[in-house]
Structure 1
């Protein structure tokens, strides 16, 4: 990788990749950093039930989904940097609000606001890379950024546990705000504007309506967005209930961060494997194989639970393999959803992101709130996700599977 020449003057490619990974990490830390603190938060804020603590995770993802609707048009009109600076400042403020919350309701409000502000990181990361690179170069830059990004879910709970060792749970939210403040300062000083003024588009209600209509009336766009939302819902269900399963059910409190990291690592490995195979095998073959594998794993897992032989290690094996399958599905579903609407990519990305995040919150919450002290709800939920996503794929593809087809625009 050479520092010059670059399509983002004043910033070498290595720094640009690191910057993209950093803004993506703001969102990842917002989800995973506080997982070890959920019991302490529940105790101090007198949360009625253990399952209710899961709303601390899902409230954030709900806000994340809502926010994605607005940032695409704003960034196309005003440029990437101003929108990023404002939303990072908003994330810092929301983190301080969360750290000072005296009630559970106030904390949930702060989490929704954090999610709304962090939604810009997803929209703008893709937009800034797209502004600067195309084709294989764009894929390479995004892959490098994602490789760094995958480390965050693995390390975040351990960092959260370390913060708890030196202070109360509120330190975690101050740390979130502090990290966002560092990225904000870095952006202010070093980040060039990647969207030239000549390429900025005014916000037109007519063009927005047309773009929304194109996105929402194309069966590939909507169908694969819903399929992606189901697999994302599986991730939310695991993340929101992981602390209860590992600590309360299996008594693995001291190993929680390591066990969580192992599951996150399996999904990261799947994403890396997908990046190596997708050009050769295609998005449909990989994602549909992942769905069938997820269904088969869930059936076997239910058999193990029903036989009364489920333990920590059997759960770890099935959870890691299920996360691998989900990792092979989600990114490919997202890519296929964008295939027919690439000419309105900014708005389409926002709409699809909204669908994916909000439906995933509903799915993940339904599974998480069904937690009853066993792994039954998660295994049943994963089976339902696999079967439902497969049904959507069959509908979208006209009953054909494992065939590469280019949808008409």
Structure 2
């Protein structure tokens, strides 16, 4: 259903009782309009005056949430020029008072005006303009254009560009996405499928021709469809300036989350089948109060044994160390001799070291001597898991009740 809610709000899209992460978003800030209160043209103000107003609005934005530590998505149309956009992101990512989490951004059609909204100058190429915005961004801000950002195994962040995505096979890209704990696809998107609001009516000033608008839309759609074929079952966030209907006529993927702006008509789509489309925090032209909206998703930890069926497996030391590191389990190393085994049942693991002198349960890098054979623990693991879950069930229920009550009062 379509709806719109005023004010800061975080929608809960998490599906488990585990840890979750809040992701905030805002689009269409249009600084030239938002900073112009009391002045007909913000660019006639001195640079110190402009920066002071930017700082004031950024402070207003950050104080709309209790903890500026999550992930922040900015969906384009921040400003019409590189200089003003750079100033905004400098203040947003300020070390002292700025956003302390990760910031991901895409450009909008207004950025492509390149400081020339009337189209009086000879336009530069789109790629040249985009490169200037990239260079002007603070190092803490990641700008995406036809790119896929992944947190590979939860250990490092990688960005796959358009050529890499399209040049990879579906199997190769799927293997990368399977091993990633966070996936974000970003770009302007463009408007080649919109019959009215497209390059013909001046959305991009003179920077984008109608033919290039169509071409750029097709390029983003090709990337989108490649990622969809490779990671359709994963949680992927699609951050674009234009809404999906502008560059693709396919159905929304219910596993994915879509964030966009551009229309200045705030809408929210949350369907029972899981479709989630957030276009409801577009600021627009009229000077107004800034606030963030957001959604929470499950924090995915990389598990090298996730695809393994229940059973017992002989594993390598490297696999065991990787499992502990990616699950956030401290360990000093793994220098003990012997064979390593992983016992798995219903998502629960038990790791055993079969050494020369004894059989040991492994807790991180620590050993605890076992009294029975490996088969004994494999046979009794289902019963152990059931009893442990039953024992903790009242505690989990109490925590869930408290959590729901906190959410009711805006926590």
Point out the structure with the larger helix share: 1
TM-score, normalized by the shorter chain, greater than 0.5? no
- Relative to the length of structure 2, the TM-score reads 0.29
Higher strand share: 2
